[in-house]
Amino acid sequence: MSSGTNQDPKASVAIKKRSRVPGVMITQYVEQLPLGKSTPDFTRKPMATTVQEGKKAIFKAMVNGDPAPTVTWGRNKGEVNDPEKYKTRFDERAQEHILEMPIVTPDEADIYKCFATNEYGTAVVSATLKVIEAGFKKKANAANGQELNFRSMLKKTVVVTRKKQLPPKKEGEIDPKLWELLISARKKDYEKICLDFGVTDFRWLLKRLNQMKKEREDEQAKVVEKLENVKQIEVKPNGKAEFSMDMKLCDPNSAINLYKDGKGVSYGDDDNSKHSLQKTGTKYVFSIKDPQPEDAGFYQVDVEEANVLTTDFQVPAVEFIAKIKDVKAVEREDAIFQCVLSTPLNRIIWSKQDSSLENEDKYEVTVSEDKLIHTLRVKDCGMEDNGTFYAIAGITSSSASLIVEADPNGSKGREGTQTGDQDALTKLALEQKAKLEKDKEDWKGKGEGGDARDGSGDGSGDGSGDGSAGKTEKDLTDGDDADDKKKTRLRTGPLVPDTVIDPGVRFVSGLSDTMANTGERAELSCKLSSETSEGRWYKNGKLLTNEDGVTIIKDGACHKLIIDCCNKDDAAVYRFEAEGRKSEATLDIQDPPKFDADALGEFTKPVIVKVGENAEWKLPFSGGAPMNIQWYKDDEELLPALNVKIETSATKSQLRLTKCQRKDCGEIKIKIKNEFGTLEAISKLIVLDKPTPPQGPVDIMESAVTSVEYKWKPPKDDGGCPVTNYIIERQQVGRNKWSNLGEIPGSNPIYKDTDVTPGRRYCYRIKAKNAEGISNYLQTEDIPAGVLRYPGTPTAPKVVSAFKDCINLAWSPPSDTGGTKIVGYNLEKNKKGTNYWSLVNQGGPITDTKYAVKDVFEGAAYEFRVAAINLSGAGEPSIPCDTVIARDPMKPPGKVTDLKLTSSNYTTLSLAWTKPKEMKGVEDEAQGYYVEIRPIENLEWTRCNANPITLTSYTVLGLKAMVAYWVRVIATNYGGDGEPQGFDNYLIAMPPPVRPKFKDRNMKTFVVIKSGNTVRININFEASPLPEIFWLKDGVPVAKHVTITNSDKGSQLLIPTSERSDTGIYTITVKNIVGQESFNVEIRVTDDPKPPGPVELDQKIPGTVTLTWTPSPDEKRDDRLHYMVSKRDSFKRTWRTAADNLFNNKFTVVNILPGREYNFRVFAKNDMGLSPPSESPVFETKKEKVKFKVKMPEAKCLDFQSPPSFIVPLKMRTAPQGYECFMSCAVKGDPAPRVTWYHNNISLNTNTNYHITNVCGVCSMLILRVAPKDNGEYKVVIENKLGTAASTMMLNVRE
């Protein structure tokens, strides 16, 4: 069966285990794996594949394991050892094991297995290969031994499997086909699809639909990456029925299957196939060529096993009675196309050649009430609307042209243009409806036959159903609308045959289908065009009279049939006939659920029972069967259970709840539903019980020597009736007996026990009582009684006013009352200079917190203190008040003068002022001062010193930095406070203003940091008020990994671990209201340079040698990297620098002497230093020794003079700001030319800022530190007596 081996024959055990990859089975041959070894496993398994016959099939797998496993392939129904059919290989780049079948035949459809084996185990996985056959021609050719050309043959899909059928529709439930269609459809198509299934309101479906869509999308995600723009099937103007979608597959080789009504459908990829699939990019278009009625069905498209599209192709038997006609319209005028169908349809397809037309701003699609007349209005026509329009009903189509002409008058908003008279189209529709009704009646075999030419119908709308006949085009245009202001155009052909005769009377309005409830009144009415015409009423074809329990009324042209009290027998088809005309309507009798009014009133009353009793509800009802009865409690459905009994008959339902508990209280609801409606009734269940215990915790309000007072919370549940009383019991701690203290009203849960013994502790029980019983008790903690706890000290007395014979005092109660209420105060006085405190209130405790002391002597100084008294006694006295002199009041002092600010900082303001002058009888002497402040946004003043100060200076502390305050000073004495004196402007808590400036004159402007090290830049500044500090890098805010720490005297920039990307110019800006200052620091993050590549030597000119080398790897990352060349000869044996600051990879060394050996080194150099050198091979020029001969040439007069010229001209350079720049050229000429350098035409030869040299015709200039002023044109002028030459270049300085 397989070319692979399933198990190692040496294996002693076979342990089965599963892989993390689904579908992979691993067999382990040893009980315990050696350390570091593993069994084989698949990291990617082969995928199931479906290919067309004659195409290539490929399986790919990726494996792992230690040691590396061997991979073999096999199949269930044969071998895979034929090298022509099966090719196995290993792709080293992708690490994939591949099984390839170049030309697949149906015989190779099978389950293939991949085995991965090493000495510790085997892993195996299966993958299915499906082969899609190419048709009977191919099989016939194969049978005859003919050579098969798969590419030229029609590609068709034959899906062998049959799709699982949808469940059948159940009575009262939504058709499963509707769910499938809605899942695949766009939201704007929901209404149209639901209408086809008779669902007019689909909003209640959306919640379940969204859930189903989510489940479907999860299935699709396994095979499809993206799915959108799904379009339902439509017949196109080219005669094909098409449906499409945009889809991106996870696996391009995934099988795409087409089903019709659950059966597989074969399809091709060319236009000649009946069913074809055209793929353009990610767009898939399925089409049915020349659709016929037998092509109607439920079509589904699956990718592998996942459904991606469902559509319903309906082919109704319909024809056009009146087709759409050509229309001419003027610009900005509406054009109207109308057609009449032979069968009512909810909608037809309107389209242009390339697209379908939807109801939107440009197009308006409408359908008449009888669904026979379909209208397309093209709004606000423009030249772009010229073309052919199509109306497609089922597989039948009609086309017409729209010709838009320029508007000569330029008018706007003109009326619509249509193809014919509206009445004529309505007449055709009514005739067709009458014909359909007659056919229906004949089919039923009931009633009398009608004339085929009758114009009967429901007559909806004014003038419809007139049955006019025999009118030509001219007759139709001379009707009632001839005088209408709307301008209409007529189509060229007649709307109806010329042989129709005028029938006379017609229906102005016909009968309409009516619904009525049993026991209610129903009325059918119609109106004729003649008031004299008589008519007859029929019920299911049987003539009706007033004796049949109905009332027939004729009121002029109106005819009515009235049924006063409907019953089920009145449901029928009613017809009215008059002079050969007839109109039919159906009367449906509904029997919704009903309750008897008396029984309903009894039901709605609350049911009140005691705990453990049963509660019962009964409610008779009537209505059409079948009935669905449901009982609910608090909106949760009640189902039969141990304590829930439900009995239901055809006329009543009963609910019994047994052994009711308090938790059963709530709303009881019965819901009765049939096909005609739903009815509900609500009652209430109240279960009475004793209350729950009172709620704690118990708050102790008073624990005194003679009484204990406490309170609690009422019960959480009062048992359904109010708490009437609380029962109180008491136990003295240490005894077993509980004493009943009696009952208190339930309205106030507070109790005071006045019968307590001092020094004892008590425990209390509290029970709630209502009409149903007594609750369990709430027990308190131990409450002490009779413990002497004295109150705390009151505040020191405050002198309210002082006179020579009276001093008024006031104080505040103590914060600690000692557990009982304060009953009064003792006030004591002490005459200054004595140690004796005497009681002021000899007549008993003072009950108020103020007192007037009259037992004083004029001019004497006194101190006062107060003690609080509670039930335990008097507490400790307060601290004495300030000394007060018994004398008449003084006049308040005046305003202070010369108020000024002496100093300030961020938290303090220092003030100074001059004492106010004393004016006898007006302003007395100031004895102290108060300082008050007020933040500018507040309205209340705050006093900084509680007691008056005697000094004329004060420092306000604890201010908020940079907050503005109003400040004032008030002089005071015993007579009161004087007028405040403040500043004209507010003061800001800040030092004197200082413009920002940097304090360190030696701040570094250039910092070099090795990559990976920490960058820390400290900038010290001075500024007041506190400045705002901004850091920028190269003009933009610094990155998030840069930490900025600011203080009032400096700022620190910290980069914990620097990278090369942190290189740049960092700017700190310090700004306050006085000004701002900025400072730039250039930070260069670099690393030790890597050495350049190999050095090559080349001698073109004797006495010189040219060095070239490969750039250092850091050259691209470091724009300041340059090179240095050093040399050593065999004579001096020391290394000397031959060149530095080289920004290229080439240098020519001059003054090379023959007979010496030279060594050269090239260093890469940056801000961190030098790299290791890259050494050249030894360079040597041998000195040839020849015998010296003197050959005296003939004397000739030779002229070696030549004008100056450039051998190597100047080249344009770009240099970073702050770096060196080296420029050079080579010149020749005889006599030796004079060399002059210029910058922007200004000579540089005498400028000491430039280093200029001329060695053997090599002219060079070095700018030590490039600045922006060095931008511009540089020129070298060489001249001798024979002429002049010049070379120029541009230098760009990069910031």
Q: Report pLDDT for 445.
A: 52
Cα atoms in the 13 Å half-sphere on the side-chain side of 692: 9
pLDDT bin (cut points 50, 70, 90) of residue 200 is low
How long a stretch of residues is the chain?
1295
Q: Report pLDDT for 1037.
A: 93
Whether residue 855 contacts residue 805, with contact meaning beta carbons closer than 8 Å, is answered with no
> What are the backbone dihedrals phi and psi of residue 547, each rounded to the nearest 5 degrees, phi first?
-80, -5
**What is the arithmetic mean of pLDDT over 974-1001?**
88
Whether residue 1294 contacts residue 1214, with contact meaning beta carbons closer than 8 Å, is answered with yes
Does 1156 score more than 60 pLDDT?
yes
Q: Report pLDDT for 952.
A: 93
The stretches of 144-295 forming alpha helices (DSSP H) are 176-184, 190-196, 206-220
What tokens does 171 get? 């009575």
Report how far residue 135's alpha carbon sits from residue 144's, in angstroms, rounded to the nearest whole number. 15
**What is the arithmetic mean of pLDDT over 694-711?**
83
pLDDT bin (cut points 50, 70, 90) of residue 422 is low
pLDDT in tens, 79-128: 888 888 899 999 888 889 999 998 888 888 899 999 999 988 999 999 98
pLDDT bin (cut points 50, 70, 90) of residue 972 is very high
**What is the arithmetic mean of pLDDT over 1076-1085?**
91
Report how far residue 380's alpha carbon sits from residue 412's, in angstroms, rounded to the nearest whole number. 9
**Secondary structure of 688-736 as H, E, C letters:** ECCCCCCEEEEEEEEECCCCEEEEEECCCCCCCCCCCEEEEEEEECCCC
Q: What angle do CA 388, 392, 397 make, to 5 degrees?
A: 75
Q: What angle do CA 1016, 1019, 1021 make, to 5 degrees?
A: 165
Do the strands 121-132 and 25-28 form a parallel or antiparallel pair, or are they unpaired? antiparallel
Report how far residue 654's alpha carbon sits from residue 637's, in angstroms, rounded to the nearest whole number. 15
Which residue type is seen at 608? I
**What is the arithmetic mean of pLDDT over 525-542?**
87
Does 149 score more than 90 pLDDT?
no
Q: Classify burial at 641, counting beta carbons within 10 Å of its beta carbon; exposed 0-12, middle 13-18, buried 19 or more.
A: exposed
Which residues is 645 bridged to in the sheet? 656
Order of all β-strands in the sheet with 57-66: 38-44, 57-66, 96-101, 87-91
Report how far residue 1052's alpha carbon sits from residue 1073's, in angstroms, rounded to the nearest whole number. 22
Does 1055 score more than 90 pLDDT?
yes
Which residue type is seen at 352? K
Report how far residue 637's alpha carbon sits from residue 410's, in angstroms, rounded to the nearest whole number. 70
Report how far residue 485's alpha carbon sits from residue 414's, in angstroms, rounded to the nearest whole number. 11
Q: Report pLDDT for 313.
A: 86
Q: Is the dihedral of CA 319, 321, 325, 330 positive or negative?
A: negative
Whether residue 916 contacts residue 938, with contact meaning beta carbons closer than 8 Å, is answered with no
What tokens does 865 get? 């203190």
198 φ/ψ sector (left φ>0, alpha ψ -120 to 50, else beta): left
Q: Is the dihedral of CA 913, 919, 925, 928 positive or negative?
A: negative
Q: Report pLDDT for 479.
A: 35
> What are the backbone dihedrals phi and psi of residue 441, each rounded to the nearest 5 degrees, phi first?
-70, -40
Which residue type is seen at 1181? T
Who has greater pLDDT, 16 or 1033? 1033
Q: Report pLDDT for 155.
A: 37
**What whole-number percentage of the chain has pLDDT above 70?**
88
Q: Report pLDDT for 143.
A: 41
Q: Report pLDDT for 504.
A: 65
Does 423 score more than 80 pLDDT?
no
The stretches of 479-621 forming alpha helices (DSSP H) are 597-603
Rounded to an integer, what is the distance from CA 736 to the centroid of its chain? 69
What tokens does 995 get? 């413009």
Q: What angle do CA 642, 673, 194 make, to 5 degrees?
A: 125
CA dihedral 484, 490, 494, 496 (to 10 degrees): -40
**What is the arithmetic mean of pLDDT over 685-710?**
85
The residue with tokens 């200076």 is 953
- Residues whose CB falls within 8 Å of the CB of residue 1012, separated by 6 or more in sequence, listed in order: 1057, 1058, 1059
Report how far residue 69's alpha carbon sits from residue 27's, in angstroms, rounded to the nearest whole number. 13
Order of all β-strands in the sheet with 953-956: 897-904, 909-914, 953-956
Q: Report pLDDT for 229.
A: 85
Who has greater pLDDT, 759 or 749? 749
Does 52 score more than 90 pLDDT?
no
**What is the arithmetic mean of pLDDT over 771-793?**
84
> What are the backbone dihedrals phi and psi of residue 765, each rounded to the nearest 5 degrees, phi first?
-115, 135
Q: Report pLDDT for 7.
A: 44
> What are the backbone dihedrals phi and psi of residue 1116, each rounded to the nearest 5 degrees, phi first?
-75, -25
Please name the helix (run of DSSP H) or strand (run of DSSP E) that holds residue 285, with its range, or none.
strand 283-288
Report how far residue 646's alpha carbon sits from residue 1285's, in angstroms, rounded to the nearest whole number. 121
Say which range, 8-22, 186-200, 744-758, 1024-1038, has the weakest mean pLDDT.
8-22
pLDDT bin (cut points 50, 70, 90) of residue 824 is very high
Does 416 score more than 80 pLDDT?
no
pLDDT bin (cut points 50, 70, 90) of residue 157 is very low
Report how far residue 431's alpha carbon sits from residue 468's, in angstroms, rounded to the nearest whole number. 9
- Closest by alpha carbon to 266, among 431, 125, 155? 155
Whether residue 65 contacts residue 118, with contact meaning beta carbons closer than 8 Å, is answered with yes
Report how far residue 520's alpha carbon sits from residue 514's, in angstroms, rounded to the nearest whole number. 12
Does 221 score more than 80 pLDDT?
yes
Say which range, 126-130, 357-361, 717-721, 1033-1037, has the weakest mean pLDDT.
357-361
- Residues whose CB falls within 8 Å of the CB of residue 451, separated by 6 or more in sequence, listed in order: 580
- Closest by alpha carbon to 1278, among 1249, 1236, 1239? 1236
Whether residue 968 contacts residue 890, with contact meaning beta carbons closer than 8 Å, is answered with no
Report how far residue 1210's alpha carbon sits from residue 1277's, in angstroms, rounded to the nearest whole number. 11
Q: What angle do CA 161, 166, 169 make, to 5 degrees?
A: 155
Separation in Å, CA 742 to CA 727, 745, 748, 751, 752: 6, 10, 15, 11, 12
pLDDT in tens, 625-677: 888 889 998 888 888 888 899 888 888 899 999 989 888 899 999 998 888 88
Who has greater pLDDT, 894 or 568? 894
Q: Report pLDDT for 441.
A: 67
**Furthest-apart CA atoms within the chain: distance in Å:** 165
Return the number of other C-beta atoms located less than 10 Å from residue 1002's C-beta. 4
Q: Report pLDDT for 304.
A: 82
Does 620 score more than 80 pLDDT?
yes
pLDDT bin (cut points 50, 70, 90) of residue 146 is very low
Which of 677-688 are b and which e, b meaning 16 or more Cβ less than 10 Å from the residue's Cβ? Answer: eebebebebbbb
Q: Classify burial at 1069, counting beta carbons within 10 Å of its beta carbon; exposed 0-12, middle 13-18, buried 19 or more.
A: middle
Report how far residue 596's alpha carbon sits from residue 589's, in angstroms, rounded to the nearest whole number. 20
Does 362 score more than 50 pLDDT?
yes
Does 420 score more than 80 pLDDT?
no
- Closest by alpha carbon to 238, among 196, 310, 175, 287? 287
Which residue type is seen at 181? L
Who has greater pLDDT, 1077 or 509? 1077
Report how far residue 1052's alpha carbon sits from residue 1056's, in angstroms, rounded to the nearest whole number. 12
Average pLDDT, the chain: 83
pLDDT in tens, 126-139: 998 888 875 433 43
- Closest by alpha carbon to 617, among 687, 684, 666, 672? 684
Q: Report pLDDT for 993.
A: 86
Q: Report pLDDT for 1278.
A: 93
Whether residue 1020 contacts residue 1050, with contact meaning beta carbons closer than 8 Å, is answered with yes
**What is the arithmetic mean of pLDDT over 1182-1192?**
68
- Closest by alpha carbon to 30, among 39, 43, 40? 39
Q: Is the dihedral of CA 405, 406, 409, 412 positive or negative?
A: positive
Who has greater pLDDT, 1175 or 485? 1175
**What whole-number percentage of the chain has pLDDT above 90?**
26
Report how far residue 791's alpha carbon sits from residue 794's, in angstroms, rounded to the nearest whole number. 9
Does 1253 score more than 60 pLDDT?
yes
Does 3 score more than 70 pLDDT?
no
Q: Classify burial at 725, counting beta carbons within 10 Å of its beta carbon; exposed 0-12, middle 13-18, buried 19 or more.
A: middle
Does 37 score more than 50 pLDDT?
yes
What tokens does 13 get? 């055990």
- Closest by alpha carbon to 928, among 954, 899, 958? 954
Summarize the chain as % helix, strand, coil (round to 5). Answer: 10, 45, 45
Do the strands 121-132 and 49-52 form a parallel or antiparallel pair, or are they unpaired? parallel
